[in-house]
Amino acid sequence: MAQLKIIKGDITKVHVDAIVNAANERLAGGGGVDGAIHRAAGMQQLNAACKKLHGCPTGKAKVTSGFNLPAKYIIHTVGPIWHGGNHREPKLLSNCYRNSLQQAVNYHCKTIAFPSISTGVYGYPLGKAAKITVNVIKQFPIQLTVTMVCFDDNTYRAYVHAAQQH
């Protein structure tokens, strides 16, 4: 079973085997955590590696080197845009976490760090996302240490609450 830790901080500074990037479908870098990861990893190197992956569909996950990050790998996953919850958003968000965890296993990672996927500009309600995230991580059958890296107090509180309710 995966072990969950929740911290507040900057995901680009966390020392783990893999960090997860909340990417867009083109894997082109953008705002929020995606832009921060691209800048910290090395924009040119990471953009070149992402271009070779030919994008990523929502809910799937693809892997690049971590380049200048303290993580060996970056697992890029594309979260769903919130449209009210009736467009498979819960299933797609679950798939983001599950597929990212499976990629970590595929690359022999023991530790992985996630941001809060889809809860920024994609508009997924934070409480609903946190509940899904904690559920997927706690049910993952393979031993991994998973760190949820929360950017702000509100996000941190939502994940702690979801973990306490699980």
Angle between helices 126-139 and 89-106 (to 10 degrees): 40
Instruction: Name the helix (H) or strand (E) containing 102.
Output: helix 89-106
Q: What is the distance between the alpha carbons of residues 165 and 135, in angstroms, rounded to a whole number?
A: 10
Main-chain phi, psi angles of 62, to 5 degrees: -130, 155
Q: Which of 10, 34, 152, 153 is catalytic?
A: 34
34 is catalytic: yes
**H/E segment holding residue 41:** helix 32-41
> Hey, which residues are catalytic here?
34
